[in-house]
Amino acid sequence: MTTFIKYACAPIAWTNDDLPELGGENTFEQCISEMALAGYEGTEIGNKYPKEASVLKSYLEPRGLSVASAWFSMFLTTKPYKETEAAFIKHRDFLHDMGAKVIVVSEQGRSVQGRLDQSVFDDKPHFTDEEWTRLIYGLHRLGRLAQEKNMKIVYHHHMGTGVQTTAEIQRLMEATDPKLVSLLYDTGHLHVSGEDMLAIFDTYQDRIHHIHFKDVRETIAHDMKVHGLSFLDGVKRGVFTVPGDGDIDFKPILERIHQSDYVGWIVVEAEQDPAVANPFLYAKKAKAYMEAI
């Protein structure tokens, strides 16, 4: 049975790094204060957060918040490995100073997740065998660098990237060393992509070391596929929301997690327009929903 699960909240509900017009008026201080007030123990890190560990700690500790992790973009398939490594080491050291145990990584080579003019389904990259080789080689090296600090890299399968589908996740998991590469489990991305969320968890639960919970409004997800919308168009239209507000039933997912040996963070992450969906109220709603389950 699970002995250690903590709930964190992602700042993307308050201010969106990919779409700066969403929540541009919201401050870092408002974000973390409302997270704490909503009952969360941790946070992931957004672009408005202080970049020095000592400064960030001075804001988080009085609010009882810890750092769960932070996103790191890799370009292992399209750029020289050393470029990614140099940026990774800096990112790793900052997260280590903040007490985080996992580093969220995602390959962004040829990604369309940040493009407004490309379909998240029709235009997503499909890695060649050579690109897969470069990705796996780089992940193993980054995994060893994480181990130097007693940390893990957790790979974020993501809409609009080369690792999105069940088959792509399977190829990644089968080609990588479990001691060096772990998996981030994201309910929202799996649902929008059309994958079997429970089957993915059952298959890889021993390698899942970080979890993102976001709900999905199915009608908008359907429109994204039928009309060839971009990922960011889907976000702007409200495809994602917090657990308990969309069409995903989280009860069987939470039961699976609690029945497993999962130890770590569950991060509520729902990129919505804060002018439409008050982030504090939605964060509270998610916490109440999960506690009721």
> What CATH number should be reported for the domain whose range is 5-292?
3.20.20.150
Q: Residue 43 has what pLDDT? A: 98
Q: Residue 261 has what pLDDT? A: 86
What does the mean pLDDT of the chain come to? 97
Q: Is the pLDDT of residue 269 over 80?
A: yes
Strand intervals (E) in the chain: 4-9, 42-44, 66-69, 71-74, 102-107, 152-156, 181-186, 208-213, 215-216, 240-241, 263-268
Question: What's the pTM value of the predicted model, to 2 decimals?
Answer: 0.98
Q: Is the pLDDT of residue 3 over 80?
A: no
Q: Residue 64 has what pLDDT? A: 98
Structure tokens at 59: 């804001």
Q: What is the pLDDT of residues 115-141, one digit of tens each?
A: 999 999 999 999 999 999 999 999 999
Structure tokens at 131: 């690109």
Inter-CA distances, 44 with 91, 141, 147, 159, Å: 13, 24, 20, 19
CA–CA separation, 90 and 72 (whole Å): 11
CA–CA separation, 110 and 160 (whole Å): 9
Q: What is the pLDDT of residues 199-246, one digit of tens each?
A: 999 999 999 999 999 999 999 999 999 999 999 999 999 999 999 999
**HSE-up of residue 252 (Cα within 13 Å, Cβ side):** 10
Task: Say whether 57 sits in a helix, a strand or coil.
Answer: helix
67 contact partners, CB below 8 Å, separation of at least 6: 42, 43, 44, 45, 56, 60, 95, 98, 99, 100
Instruction: Parse the chain into domains and list their residue ranges.
Output: 5-292
Structure tokens at 64: 């009882």
Residues in the chain: 293
Exposure b/e, 236-250, CB count within 10 A at least 16 = b: bbbbbbbbbbbebeb
SS3 content of the chain, % helix, strand, coil (to 5): 45, 15, 40
Structure tokens at 174: 């089968």
